[in-house]
Structure 1
């Protein structure tokens, strides 16, 4: 029997580098900037105190038929899980959130480690497929991004961040990681209440290994 577990994390001390503020513009379709030219934004590892009880619970079934857009066209979580268990990273935006951009680039390094453990990695945001595609190609991501432009899947998981009621951030999820078995059952999760703090690669692998 697999051990169902939530992520227990230890505190790490990190020095913050030049934090980037979110643009005031409300235009989601604004072109992707040249990420390489920006100062790197440091994403602090999540701690136990940062975790919040939000979204679907361990043992719940994910919305298998909810529609998503991937690079190959329309898909669903059910179709993706036919290829094996998944680790799904919910993130705010590839366009305007530097913490998301940094996280999505960082997890590129553990695609092979997750595959060795039997999991396929996916990123999910409300950005358009074109925006995600530009970012993926620019950063040479080795995993698929999933577009949820209406935030329907974000809402089905119960992850919409309620603090945003107007502007471009309406519909973004809490920064979250969900581990899902092939049947669509959630077997581990981590949800951060602070978008500047996300699980490190080591923490993600420890979450998978703890199952």
Structure 2
């Protein structure tokens, strides 16, 4: 791949060339490397979600029993796998994902991770869905979407006043036992979700 010097780097060299001084090869290489690092750092920071290594936000949730939970109370020995979903009430893709993730609950626990799912749904909706589908892992209510916002997953394309205000971009976030984001899995759009096998493999590799 051909790499070119950024405009900022080129402008930084103007004073020397204006004085008739030819910039050294080392100076050119240093400027090019600096520009490349800046571009790579920007590329590694996702526009949706938090970057790997970011400290997980302090957040609280309400479980299906009505009890307030935090990552500290939820985490397994390795950490917590959080599936952010849009709704267990009206989103068919989320409902399917929640059912599919049941197959991941035990393997994740065996690998030291606690699996939970988070949505903006009220507790009663989540409790009913969990019971109906006999899910073994916990569904957590983030009514008001405070955690969804803190994890930089809020879907801001939703029109004000819509019943969908507060939904997240679907994502699976691995928060390690030290309280840092270890990995985030996402697919383009809202219909496709990370495969269960990939979720398990990712957890086992962290």
- For the pair 1:90 / 2:113, whether they are aligned, the reply is no
Comparing both chains, which one has the higher relative contact order based on Cα–Cα distances under 8 Å and sequence gaps of 6 or more? 1
- For the pair 1:198 / 2:193, whether they are aligned, the reply is yes
Per-residue CA distance 1:72-106 (angstroms, 9 max, x = gap):
41122232237651110000000000000000001
**What TM-score do the two structures reach when normalised by structure 1?**
0.71
Q: Which residue matches 1:40?
A: none
Q: How does 1:1-211 map to 2 (within 5 A)?
A: 53-64=47-58, 66-72=59-65, 73-81=67-75, 85-166=79-160, 167-211=162-206
CA RMSD between the two structures:
1.6
Secondary structure of 1:132's aligned partner = helix
| Aligned mates of 2:50, 2:170 — CA distance in 1 | 14
| Aligned mates of 1:116, 1:147 — CA distance in 2 | 25
Q: Compared with structure 1, are the counterparts of its residues 71 and 84 closer, same or farther at alpha carbon in structure 2 (3 Å cutoff)?
A: farther
Per-residue CA distance 1:109-134 (angstroms, 9 max, x = gap):
11111111111100000000100000
Query: Which ranges of structure 1 fall in alignment gaps of 5 or more residues?
Result: 1-51
* Mean CA deviation greater in 108-117 or 148-157: 108-117
| Aligned mates of 2:125, 2:189 — CA distance in 1 | 24
Structure whose alpha-carbon radius of gyration is higher: 2
| Aligned mates of 1:61, 1:180 — CA distance in 2 | 9
**What TM-score do the two structures reach when normalised by structure 2?**
0.73
Per-residue CA distance 1:29-57 (angstroms, 9 max, x = gap):
xxxxxxxxxxxxxxxxxxxxxxx641111
Is contact 1:81–1:183 with CA below 8 Å preserved after alignment? no
| Aligned mates of 2:144, 2:55 — CA distance in 1 | 21
Is contact 2:77–2:113 with CA below 8 Å preserved after alignment? no
